[in-house]
Structure 1
């Protein structure tokens, strides 16, 4: 665990998280960044070694994503999630958000309605509207410490002419790891109403103890034929800057349509280092990941205990997956602008404002705890100082 306790200076590396905080939060003060979803941990040594070896080769011409990369992905999904996939189902993309854009362009037309479940990852909204489609929102239902799906509203939304459903599984920011029953019910409703599923499963490896991720496409052949699954090693192993992700699609016709869009965009392969890191991550990263998950669970427990003991004005939504905590601040009675000002200027801490995640995010903040425990404790102390100021 000492590995994850290291405080590594990330300034001077063009780090969005650490070097654009003042710009993002519109302040000249030093703000502790606990917002954008990357980790302050080095990846497994096997990934760094593979990258060093490739650098030492010294020639960086055109590359392709080889068979051994696909083999590593197939074995990872089988071992980690019990999902058997075919090599022909795999294509590649620089990232999950570009893949969502491809799916929107491939399977819908301008003016079509696309379903989301807020509060949810903000690019879901922007990719829909930037492509001249319309958002059909079916907000999740907030219970005391958890969120559920309103299935009656979900089905009604599908009846409103929806063409595509973007699923966040596990869900960012509310931390739900959907059960098999929940996933099956959503998938079967989409089948019944002829709605294609795009399942963003980028957080699927970041599952806290007591929960199990189920790839929605693994539920049945029929569901697999109606689903495009998006995964990446970026969140799992802190490789976002290498821009390498995977599109998994069992339906040849749907995959062909995606490839047409990729061709139009001139997108043909991944960058050299993304390819190398992806294979090393999925081939050698499991032991490191298990240690990471234990450490993250400890960070979550620290936040949970601190809020219960020191900040009863706040409520932590019980996380089941991801390293992103969804905190209910509504008892403070502040507007979203006031809440952001409180934490940014009085606490000098940077959170993602809940309102950026759409309807249902009002009065919440998202806290990133993928950092050394000392940073988590410092962040909590700043929260307390701000609230009690």
Structure 2
């Protein structure tokens, strides 16, 4: 059994989440603020991962290294077992993270001024990365439906007709925790093929799925796998974000060669030996740890939802189907985003993500990370209630 109850002190560990609060939130003193914003967990990584890194440390030479075939096999076996997605090892290109992978795909397959389509609200780098590259970001607003989101197929097709080159899909959806159905994914895949739009699918949250839901990789339903480039990583699943390991899965040999040329052009190296060891250990030996984690996350979500909706007027929270992120609807409180953020930060000493960080469609919402021990969750809930009392 893994210890998901102990609170691990992360301050003074160069943590973005815990040690960079003054750089994120404009308040005089952020030292006593509880951070529940960025998407990493306050749990120790699986023991198998830690042991694998220790074993690599026993060899005292840390020179240039290659990524062994076993790393690709670990990923392909995981995708087959967990998501019934059959891929070939030759389809895998390793990257330092999903965001660098997205950047590589956008830069390789579009030019300045080209249109890139995203849903909204959505993970901020989907907007920031293409924009900083001089691409034009087109947005298709998702439909709010029963506390979750739904695809507006008509609006989606209309956007594709405007000359879009790449569509970035968030599957599962962040921040909403939406699991895309086979029907939705088929519609998106068929429409993108119809209009010759490349699909770039970010599936980094694909393992954080609550029963009875099941992740469906878009590559498994697309009429043409060669029109899909998917990104996977062990980092969200096993709390390895600082290890920096991700994979681009691309079946089209020509696209793969173009991505390899892009890597050479930018002097991009292979994964380092520690990320390789961590990735293999996570995918080969991390399944039982993940099963325990999902039970903890589900329980944390139930607690937060029950406490906040019963004790704070005007809050609505629907339990997500995936991720460890709650999308909190505070529109009925009558508070503006500035007002609620000021209250949370100054009175409650609690840091959440404001909804507009995910686009204008996120106005009236907050994103809360619940991947932490119950004691931290209880503290956060008490701070939230105090802030809005």
The SS at the match of 2:58 is: helix
Q: 2:98 pairs with 96, 99, 111, which one?
A: 96
Give the equivalent residue in structure 2 for 1:377.
378
1:313 to 1:84, Cα distance in 2 relative to 1, 3 A: same
The SS at the match of 2:291 is: helix
Give the equivalent residue in structure 1 for 2:8.
8
Q: Is the 8 A contact 1:216 1:223 kept in 2?
A: no
CA offsets 1:329-360 (integer angstroms, 9 cap, x no match): 11122222222111111111000111110021
1:26 aligns with 2:6: no
Q: Is the 8 A contact 1:339 1:363 kept in 2?
A: no
How many residues were matched structurally? Answer: 387
Q: Tell me, which stretches of 5 or more residues in structure 2 are unaligned?
A: none
The SS at the match of 2:3 is: helix
Of residues 158-167 and 15-24 in structure 1, the stretch that sits farther from structure 2 once superposed is: 15-24
2: distance between equivalents of 1:154 and 1:163? 14
The SS at the match of 1:365 is: strand
Q: 1:112 pairs with 114, 131, 135, which one?
A: 114
1:162-311 alignment, distance < 5 Å: 162-220=164-222, 222-311=223-312
CA offsets 1:190-209 (integer angstroms, 9 cap, x no match): 00010000000000000011
Q: Is the 8 A contact 1:228 1:249 kept in 2?
A: yes
Q: CA deviation at 1:22?
A: 2.7
Q: CA deviation at 1:2?
A: 6.4
Q: Is the 8 A contact 2:313 2:333 kept in 1?
A: no
Q: Is the 8 A contact 2:302 2:319 kept in 1?
A: no
CA offsets 1:235-258 (integer angstroms, 9 cap, x no match): 000001011100100111111121
1:27-46 alignment, distance < 5 Å: 27=27, 28-29=29-30, 30-46=32-48
Q: CA deviation at 1:153?
A: 0.4
Give the equivalent residue in structure 2 for 1:335.
336
Q: Is the 8 A contact 2:2 2:292 kept in 1?
A: no
2: distance between equivalents of 1:77 and 1:312? 43
1:16-165 alignment, distance < 5 Å: 16-27=16-27, 28-29=29-30, 30-165=32-167
Q: Tell me, which stretches of 5 or more residues in structure 1 are unaligned?
A: none
CA offsets 1:141-167 (integer angstroms, 9 cap, x no match): 112311111110000000011000000
Give the equivalent residue in structure 2 for 1:318.
319
The SS at the match of 2:231 is: strand
2: distance between equivalents of 1:34 and 1:46? 27
2: distance between equivalents of 1:347 and 1:144? 29
Q: Normalising by the residue count of structure 2, what TM-score does the alignment of the two structures yield?
A: 0.97
Q: After the TM superposition, list the runs of 4 or more consecutive aligned residues in structure 1 that deviate by more than 4 angstroms.
A: none
1: distance between equivalents of 2:262 and 2:359? 28
Aligned-residue CA RMSD (Å): 1.1
The SS at the match of 1:207 is: coil
Q: CA deviation at 1:295?
A: 0.8
The SS at the match of 1:39 is: coil
Q: Is the 8 A contact 2:308 2:385 kept in 1?
A: no
The SS at the match of 1:57 is: coil
Of residues 302-311 and 133-142 in structure 1, the stretch that sits farther from structure 2 once superposed is: 302-311
Of residues 231-240 and 23-32 in structure 1, the stretch that sits farther from structure 2 once superposed is: 23-32
Q: Is the 8 A contact 1:117 1:137 kept in 2?
A: yes
Q: CA deviation at 1:57?
A: 1.2
2: distance between equivalents of 1:75 and 1:200? 19
The SS at the match of 2:121 is: coil
The SS at the match of 1:3 is: coil
